[in-house]
Amino acid sequence: MSNKSNSSDFDPESYHLNTNNQLFDNISSPEPIDESLEINKGDKIIHDTFGEGIVMETKPTSNDVELTIVFKDGGGVKRFLGSIAPIKKQ
């Protein structure tokens, strides 16, 4: 199988090594969480894809919050970063 990428397309400045020397794409840090959203444990939410759910846990991170949400109708348990999760409070 041939590699279709051209070596002239590779920009080493667009990649960085993390602390474990693993290569990852250059991505920007998430924006600080929107304080007006105020998601708390027990809140009912709506997710664009998974539908209705309930926040089971909120865990602060450096400049965000990790949300653990259980969804109705077999959606299961999912984790999201609050700053990028497509959710709304009910």
* pLDDT tens readout for residues 19-38: 555 544 544 554 444 455 68
> How crowded is the C-beta side of 13, counted as CA atoms within 13 Å?
0
Q: Does residue 17 sit within a domain?
A: no
Q: Does residue 75 sit within a domain?
A: yes
Q: Which two tokens stand for residue 79?
A: 């984790």
Give me the mean pLDDT over the 52-65 stretch. 93
Buried b (16+ CB within 10 A) or exposed e, 31-50: eebeeeeebeeebebebeeb
- The whole-model pTM stands at 0.60
| Rounded Cα distance, 34 and 85, in Å | 11
Evaluate if residue 66 carries a pLDDT over 50.
yes
Instruction: Indicate which CATH number applies to the domain containing 65.
Output: 2.40.10
Q: Does residue 5 sit within a domain?
A: no
Give me the mean pLDDT over the 35-59 stretch. 89
Q: Does residue 79 sit within a domain?
A: yes
> How crowded is the C-beta side of 41, counted as CA atoms within 13 Å?
5
Residue 32 confidence (pLDDT): 47
